[in-house]
Structures are given as structure tokens and as C-alpha cells.
Amino acid sequence: MKSEGDNQAIIVPKESSIKTLADLRGKRVAFGKGSSAHNLLVAVLEKAGVSWSDITPAPLAPADATAAFVKGSVDAWSIWDPYLALAELKENARVLVFDKDVHKPNAFYIANTDFVERYPSLVARLNTAFASEGVWAGQHHEEVAKAQSEATGVDIAAVRRFVNRSTYSVVPLDAEVIKSQQAVADRFAKLGLIPKPVNVSDIVWKWTPGS
């Protein structure tokens, strides 16, 4: 699924002295290790010309990071929705930078290679169904918000906030998406988060809508 990049950000307390990306130098920043938020933080530092060693990394799961952010034991937090929306609404957090300001994030459906090779027509049908559901979701934000709030227990106001800034378009992976994901793989290989480099184009299944 292609994203507009509004569902993940680096946030700081409203009155924080951190105003620019370069201001992250010397600060303690929370993030989920190996997550998309980890990638966002690395990409942001690259853009700002700040090295990883110039910050104090605080790898924390969302629940622990929430507590740390509220208590002020971290200076900034790289995080995704709905935690982002909750921090904005409940803690009056200020967004320093959204995903879209640094790179183009995406979400993916992943399948076992053997399964795809054995049942390509079934996988194509599933993709078509997902794409159809995505169109419906894009046109029925309130229904999506209510369903997610009921399923997760997250406050409806926060869910509405992130649903209304979400996109649900399910499309085949194109060259732009593959290039973006390759950058993620390269960053994680450089950090040692994956055991060896990955060539993303080698693991992309070619889906043609309608097939």
C-alpha cells in the first residue's frame, strides 16, 4: 500500500527547544528497534547531517516509549499511528518531521515464496480483493475508524485522526516503491539489523491487476 507519509513522525514536547532536525544532536530519541520508525530516525539524521553517534538512541517498545515521553525521560520520539495521534491529542506533542518530509514510506502484503509459486492465481485474487477493500476504506473513513476503535480499544478521536490522514490504495510495486524499500534495506544492513544485504527487486512478486 502506498502511503502519503502522514502516519509516522518524529515528535517532541510542545515546549521543547528542538526546532530543527539538526537540534536532535545530543538528544535522547526513542524508537522501536528494527521498525519503520527506526528507519525514519536514521533517514532524518542522514538528511540533517547528524551521525548516529551524535544522539543517544533509546530503543523502546511503544508502551514504554509512551511512558518515557510523558515523563520527559526522552527528548524526542520516532513513532507511528495510532501512538502518534494519541501523543498529539493527549500530550499536545509537536511534530518535528513527518515521514513524507524525508522519504516515501509504504506498507506491504507478504507471502511465502513457495505459496506464491504454487498458487499464483489465488494470490492475484487476494490482491484484487485487498485493492477493492482499500477503495471502500478510502471512501468510508468513519466506518473504518469505528471498527478499528472497537477492535483495538484506542480512543475514537485518535483513531479518526489517523484514519483521516491515511491512504488505503493497494497497487503493484513499481520502481519508485522498490527503490524506496531498497534504501530501507541498505540502511538496516549498514546498521547490522539484518545479517546480509538484500536486493529487494529479487523478492518482488509481479502482480498485474485483473490477472
Q: Looking at residue 136, what is its pLDDT?
A: 96
**What is the secondary structure of the chain as a DSSP string?**
-B--S-SEEEEE-TT-S--SGGGGTT-EEEE-TTSHHHHHHHHHHHHHT--GGGSEEEE--HHHHHHHHHHTSSSEEEEETTHHHHHHHHS--EEEEEGGGT---B------HHHHHH-HHHHHHHHHHHHHHHHHHHH-HHHHHHHHHHHH---HHHHHHHHHT---------HHHHHHHHHHHHHHHHHTSSSS---GGGG-----TT-
Q: Which pLDDT score, from 0 to 100, does residue 4 have?
A: 76
Rounded to the nearest 10 degrees, what angle do helices 36-48 and 175-191 cross at?
Answer: 90
Let me know: does 23 contact 17? Beta carbons within 8 Å: yes
Residues (pLDDT < 50) of the chain are: none
What is the per-residue pLDDT for 197?
92
ω into 82 cis (within 30 of 0)? yes
Q: Is the pTM of this model over 0.85?
A: yes
* pLDDT value, residue 173: 87
CA distances in angstroms from 169 to 95, 118, 159, listed in the order given? 25, 26, 19
CB atoms within 10 A of CB 127: 20
The pLDDT score that the predictor gives to residue 210 is: 60
Looking at residue 54, its pLDDT comes to 96
What is the DSSP pairing of strand 76-80 with strand 8-12? antiparallel
Tens of pLDDT, residues 117-146: 999 999 999 999 999 999 999 999 999 999
pLDDT at 211: 56
Predicted pLDDT of residue 65: 97
Q: How far is CA 209 from the centre of its chain?
A: 25
Alpha carbon distance 211, 198 (integer Å): 28
Report the DSSP beta bridge partners of residue 29. 57, 76
